[in-house]
Amino acid sequence: MKEAEKLHYIKRREMVETLKRYGIANRRVLDAFLEVPRHLFFESEAVACAYNDGAYPIGFGQTISQPYTVAFMTTLLVERCPSGKVLEIGTGSGYQAAILDALGYSVFSIERIFELHERAKKLISKLGLHVVCRHGDGTLGWMEHAPFDGIVVTAGAPGEPESLMRQLAERGCMIVPIGGNGSQQMTVIQREEGVFKKELFEYFTFVPLIGREGWDDTVF
Ligand code: SAH
């Protein structure tokens, strides 16, 4: 391993220790965080911040989520839907998609900002990940590949996203932060025999989910 890579690995191990202190205990999730080189999802001038415990701007008013947030959402998914096809809404930097790929899911990801979509798609292909990316409004889901065993929404939704719920497989679950601008409650919606079961967790702060079944882009 090159010197720089060794340093990144050490910082990654520290990040995983922080996640453990915060209560993330799922071994598969922690291993994925150790494996995925988070610094590669940052622009070169920001690489030094890659392993800080926080969200970070990725351009176009968007952010790569805090490691704890990604780990929390991923744990909710892994514990309920350990394998299969997952749709991510909000590719952003591509980091969450890479974590899902490392966990062995078959990953589909949609991003509404063209430049972010292009950047993430290039990086994902350079890293040889099996993530299928698309530019568009993720609130409508991805009908051609539905149903999904998991759906992870990485932007704050104003309410329960109905089109996405319809694209969940039986026993499939959606992880989605729901709430007004500034604070959203992490929510799990799981389909069981055609009925949607809801579980509520702690509050986070996400950038808004903007689209036909999300927020109106004139509000932001
Ligand atoms: N998962 C990302 C987090 C990015 S922040 C990561 O790991 O880096 C959330 C992203 O959701 C932003 O890039 C934003 O542009 C995108 N987004 C917001 N509304 C969307 C929509 N309707 N469809 C697809 N992407 C959306």
4-35 confidence digits (pLDDT tens): 889 999 999 999 999 999 999 999 999 999 99
Q: Which of 41, 58, 62, 86 to mutate to test the pocket of ligand 1 (most atoms within 8 A of CB)?
A: 62
Asked if residue 96 has its Cβ within 6 Å of ligand 1, the reply is yes
Distance CA 11, CA 208 (A): 30
**CA 200 centroid distance within chain:** 18
Question: Which position has the token pair 């590669």?
Answer: 40
Phi, psi dihedral angles at 58 (to 5 degrees): -120, 15
pLDDT per residue over 84-141, tens digit each?
999 999 999 999 999 999 999 999 999 999 999 999 999 999 999 999 999 999 999 9
The per-residue pLDDT for 174 is: 98
Q: Are 172 and 191 in contact (CB under 8 A)?
A: yes
The per-residue pLDDT for 2 is: 86
The residue type of 119 is R
Q: To 10 degrees, the CA torsion angle through 153, 131, 195, 171?
A: -130
Q: Are 172 and 77 in contact (CB under 8 A)?
A: no
Per-residue pLDDT at 1 exceeds 90: no
Asked if residue 90 has its Cβ within 6 Å of ligand 1, the reply is yes
Asked if residue 69 has its Cβ within 6 Å of ligand 1, the reply is no
Asked if residue 150 has its Cβ within 6 Å of ligand 1, the reply is no
pLDDT per residue over 162-218, tens digit each?
999 999 999 999 999 999 878 999 999 999 998 999 999 999 999 999 999 999 987
The per-residue pLDDT for 220 is: 64
Q: Which residue's CA lies nearest to atom 13 of ligand 1?
A: 92
Spell out the residues 6+ positions from residue 32 whose beta carbon is closer than 8 angstroms to its own. 74, 99, 102, 103
Q: Which of 154, 167, 217 to mutate to test the pocket of ligand 1 (most atoms within 8 A of CB)?
A: 154
Spell out the residues 6+ positions from residue 7 whose beta carbon is closer than 8 angstroms to its own. none
The per-residue pLDDT for 105 is: 98
- For ligand 1, the distance from its centroid to the CA atom of residue 10, given in whole angstroms, is 29
| 65: annotated active-site residue | yes
- For ligand 1, the distance from its centroid to the CA atom of residue 6, given in whole angstroms, is 31
- For ligand 1, the distance from its centroid to the CA atom of residue 28, given in whole angstroms, is 24
The per-residue pLDDT for 82 is: 97
Fold of the CATH domain 55-219: Rossmann fold (3.40.50)
The per-residue pLDDT for 168 is: 98
Confidence band for 75, pLDDT divided at 50, 70 and 90: very high
Q: 90: phi > 0 → left, psi -120 to 50 → alpha, else beta; which?
A: left
The single residue of 44, 65, 83, 125 carrying the catalytic annotation is: 65
